[in-house]
Structure 1
Amino acid sequence: MTSPLHSFPITVYYEDTDMGGIVYHANYLKYIERARSAWVRDKGIDQNAMRDCDGLIFAVRRVEADYLGPARLDDRLTVETRAVAGTGARLVIEQSVLRGTDVIFTAQVTIACLTLAGKPVKLPAPLRTTG
């Protein structure tokens, strides 16, 4: 299973940087989270309704990340997201942060679908059928 590539634009603001003007490492996790949320929304899933009506949420189970180059103030970045594997309740997503054509960060993220009590449940249909 490999889903089509989803692109999400990010602009680096002053608040994203450290004293050296370079994006603080934890902010890459925020960038890829925003991109995953947009990807899920673009698949027709309303996470608020999923929680409020169905009692289901997504949780990050695992992140493996590589920092390959710095981003700086005012850089225009693109986060690329695609699903690469899935089981009943889990989805493995590959994400890359690019500045132009240069890949500066990569991550493989495993998300799980859970009840509000924390019990694993089957992923919503739009995520099971990505391909």
Structure 2
Amino acid sequence: MSHTFSVRVYYEDTDLAGIVYYANYLKFIERARTEWVRELGVDQARLKAEEGIVFAVRRVEADYLSPAKFDDKLDIVTTLEELRPARVVLRQEVRRADVTLFSSRVTLVVLTAEGRPARLPADFRRRVG
């Protein structure tokens, strides 16, 4: 199962050299994860309001392979790597055409309003699995 989300690189995304500032790749993959969850039919605001849980990034492994530049159209491809009762591991790649510019492995967990670990909701596991 994979999901693709597209973004355009704006001037504000770049540094003085005209390439995408490294931290902005994390913003791009965050947006892609949000859209992936939304397309699964999971309402994160409802989860927080009704069940008192939120998704949180536990770990990010990132490889910057090649720079993206102003006005590039990028595709962020999100692929499920691992689904456990209390965590999700995703592979996320930022691509320009067929070239991978940035590759990451992201581990998500669920936290309660008090910041304690929780299990993934059964509905979410069903939709992903």
Classify the TM-score, shorter chain.
over 0.9
2:55 and 2:49 mapped to 1: Cα distance?
Answer: 13
Equivalent residue number for residue 45 of structure 2 = 48
Aligned to 1:78, the other structure's residue is in SS state strand
Gaps of 5+ in 2: none
Residue 83 (str. 1) matches residue 80 (str. 2): yes
Which of these residues, 66, 69, 72, is aligned with residue 72 of structure 1? 69
Identity of aligned residues (%): 51
Partner of 1:77, secondary structure, is strand
Q: Aligned partner of 1:36: which letter?
A: R
CA displacement at 1:127 relative to structure 2: 3.6
Q: Which runs of 4+ in 1 moved over 4 A?
A: none
User: What residue in structure 1 maps to residue 107 of structure 2?
Assistant: 110
The normalised TM-score by structure 1 is 0.94
The equivalent of 1:61 in structure 2 is: 58
Over the residues paired in the alignment, what is the CA RMSD in angstroms?
A: 1.0
Q: 2:26 matched to which residue of 1?
A: 29
Offset, 1:125? 2.9
In 2, Cα distance between equivalents of 1:17 and 1:74: 10
Secondary structure of 2:118's aligned partner = coil
SS of structure 1 residue aligned to 2:4: strand
Q: Give 3-state SS (helix, strand or coil) of 1:74's partner.
A: coil
Unaligned runs of 5+ in 1: none
Aligned partner letter, 1:12 = V
